[in-house]
Amino acid sequence: MRSLLLSILSLVWCFYCTAQEGQSDSGNKPVVFIAEEMPLYPGGDKALLQYISENITYPSECEQKGIMGVVFVSYVVDVNGRATDVKVVMSSNELFNEAAIEVVESISGYEPGTQDGKPVPVQFTVPIQFTFNDGSPEWQENIQKKLAAEFYNLGINQAEKGNYDMAKHLFDRSLSTAANWSHKCFAARGNVQMALKDFNGALKDFSSALEIDSSLADIYYSRGMAKARLRDMKGACKDWQKANQLGVKDAEFLVQSQCSDK
């Protein structure tokens, strides 16, 4: 029988705070995301991790089928130190949602956050991962790659909706969970950084993707665009020429129109 491992990846504030801003808890106090003194769980984040791990229930259907995933749960620590207004903001599989909500709703005992010396409700978002554990290094590597893929898929979904800051955060998570696990994640983050006008970041990501697989024609084209925005036309033309050689039709036009004297 495989043992179960359920753990929090990290605690983050204001990770998904767009629609939440300005709402109030039951005490009619405005919810904040960063307080002068943040709420403190007895024993800190490590103790909170242990509490969730010991009190969460792995959904039986997921256990039987070997399904793993990640659920992002937002909640407000009210002025009495209880977790309130609990909701799922993002999930890789809805089968995990109920279990994640139930365990977070049971959390209490926080030392409330304070602002100007007065207790205030503070919003958190916590990503909870559901995985199986057999203790082997191979298992750990496999799980990291699967979780990285979950973050990647969530990032793609957010990018398609135009939520580029959120998408970048998820791609960051993916690559920090399993470094260099896929050229696709570097490429996707590069595209998001182009949309955010972080051309240096995009250039770095496209280069990382090509270090993993040097045959990616579209990435040469995209890296050329990043270099062009950084006024490195010689480098841009070199990448577009490579993309053209690999069959990217749009690159041929750029080579002819932008690179005749490069």
Domain chopping of the chain, boundaries: 3-133, 147-258
The span from the CA of 244 to the CA of 247, in Å, is: 5
| The pair of three-digit structure tokens given for residue 159, joined into one six-digit string | 């990018």
Instruction: For helices 183-195 and 164-177, give the axis angle rounded to 10 degrees.
Output: 150
Residue 197 DSSP one-character state: T
Place of tokens 């919003």: 123
> Which of 1.10.8.60, 1.10.620.20, 3.30.540.10, 3.30.2420.10 would CATH assign to domain 3-133?
3.30.2420.10
- Residue 102 main-chain phi, psi, to 5 deg: -60, -45
pLDDT in tens for each of the 262 residues of the chain?
334 444 444 443 333 333 334 454 445 678 877 778 888 899 887 788 788 888 888 899 988 888 888 888 889 999 999 999 999 988 888 999 999 999 999 999 999 999 899 999 998 888 787 877 655 677 667 767 877 887 898 889 889 999 998 899 889 988 887 777 889 999 999 999 999 999 999 999 999 999 999 999 999 999 999 999 999 999 999 999 999 999 999 999 999 999 976 5
Is the separation of the CB atoms in 40 and 111 below 8 Å? yes
The span from the CA of 9 to the CA of 6, in Å, is: 10
pTM exceeds cut of 0.95: no
The span from the CA of 236 to the CA of 226, in Å, is: 8
Strands of the 3-8 sheet, one edge to the other = 3-8, 122-133, 69-77, 83-91
CATH 3.40.50.620 fits 147-258, yes or no: no
Give me the pLDDT at residue 134, please: 56
Three-state DSSP class for 37? strand
Give me the pLDDT at residue 262, please: 54
Give me the pLDDT at residue 10, please: 40
